[in-house]
Amino acid sequence: MKNFIASIAAVLLLALPGAARAGTVTVKGSDTMVILGQRWAEEFMKKNPNTKLQVTGGGSGVGLSALINGTTDIAMSSRPMKEAEGEKLRTRFNTTGTEISVAKDGVTFYVNEGNKVDALTQEQLKGIYLGDITNWKEVGGPDAPIIVYSRENSSGTYVFVKDNLLNGDDYTSSAQTLPGTAAVVNAVSKEKNGIGYGGSAYAKGIKELKIKKGNEAIAPSAENIKTGKYPLSRDLYFYLRNKPAADAKAFIDFVLSPEGQALVTKVGYFPVK
């Protein structure tokens, strides 16, 4: 019996060093945030050469899943953690996790530069993404079918649009899913009848739609997003299992510092401080 207990103890002790990853902080998740995360990491590592930061994308869902599974230290997410995800984190790690808002963003709808439509109401956008509106002429555009581009369901932006624009309903089955915001922008810039969405940081080479509210057309400008006037603005988050400590805390302190927040503006998002 003593030998048996000793064997079990040996297995546990041998496994312990695997948990230690001193000096390396892994950051994973939102594709919307990946460029921002990389810029933060580059600047941070210049100042702290002994700390290694690994930043990868995959989508908010992938990042939060990695946090729950213990395979990343920080999850980047462009949406708040879902209740079910919080429950999984609590079940596995007995923790409620830590949520830190690190930047702000507006979900922007893009159309081709040649499209004469400049602004749409949220109801019209909803109609397009649910498949109820299928021709541009129904919303004041040319007589041409609307080619709808969307993100994959692991994307936080996908979930944000579904929850905040579509009221939880499913996207039209004709929506073409693309693996990243850059791919959506690229597709819309080439498809004259296309419409897509993503973070404002990527909105280059295409036209950003304004959101019509009454007689006003609200542009996804820095001011409108910061003040919340633009209706589809959101926070971008870091999630950790526990309170930040050691290298992860140093990195987050940098992210929230004036220098880190200045990078937010440079990349094209909006600071939280």
Partner 1 sequence: MRNLIAAILTFTSGAALAQEATPAPEAAPATEAAPATPNTDERVTNTEGKVASIEEQLAEIKSILSPLTKLKFSGYVQARYQWEESREDGTGGYSRFLVRRGRLKATYTGDLVQYMLQIDAVPTGVTVRDAEATLFIPGTKQNMSVTLGQMKWPFGYESVQSSSDREFPERTRVVRAFLPDERDRGVKYAGKFGFFRLGVGLFDGNGMSYPGSVGVDNDKEKDFVGRAGFDLKWISGGVSGWYGHTMGRGAGETYRHAHERSRVGADLQVYLDFLPIGATAIKGEYIKGKTYVSNGAELLDRQASGWYALLVQNIGLTNAVAVRYDYFDAATGIPATAAAPGSDRPAGTNAIGTIGATAIHYFGENLKLSVTYEHPMTATVAGVKDPRDNLLTAQLQARY
- Contact positions vs partner 1 (CB under 8 A): 1, 4-5, 8, 11-12, 15-16, 18-20, 69-71, 86, 90-96, 98, 168-170, 173-174, 176, 241-243, 245
183/222 with CB nearer partner 1: 183
Whole-angstrom distance, CA of residue 185 vs CA of residue 55:
22
92/116 with CB nearer partner 1: 92
Minimum distance, C-beta of residue 264 to partner 1, in the bound complex (Å): 27
Using an 8 Å Cβ cutoff, are 43 and 250 in contact? no
Closest CA to 238 of 88, 53, 107, 91: 53
Minimum distance, C-beta of residue 90 to partner 1, in the bound complex (Å): 6
Minimum distance, C-beta of residue 189 to partner 1, in the bound complex (Å): 16
Decide: residue 30, CB within 10 A, 0-12 exposed, 13-18 middle, 19+ buried.
buried
- Going by the DSSP 8-state scheme, the letter that residue 201 receives in this structure is G
169/216 with CB nearer partner 1: 169
Minimum distance, C-beta of residue 146 to partner 1, in the bound complex (Å): 15
Closest CA to 71 of 116, 25, 113: 25
Whole-angstrom distance, CA of residue 198 vs CA of residue 185:
8
Closest CA to 232 of 28, 29, 63, 78: 78
59/106 with CB nearer partner 1: 59
**One-letter identity of residue 75:** A
Whole-angstrom distance, CA of residue 40 vs CA of residue 62:
20
92/273 with CB nearer partner 1: 92
Minimum distance, C-beta of residue 157 to partner 1, in the bound complex (Å): 19
117/148 with CB nearer partner 1: 148
Minimum distance, C-beta of residue 234 to partner 1, in the bound complex (Å): 18
136 φψ region: left (φ > 0), alpha (ψ -120 to 50), beta (else): alpha
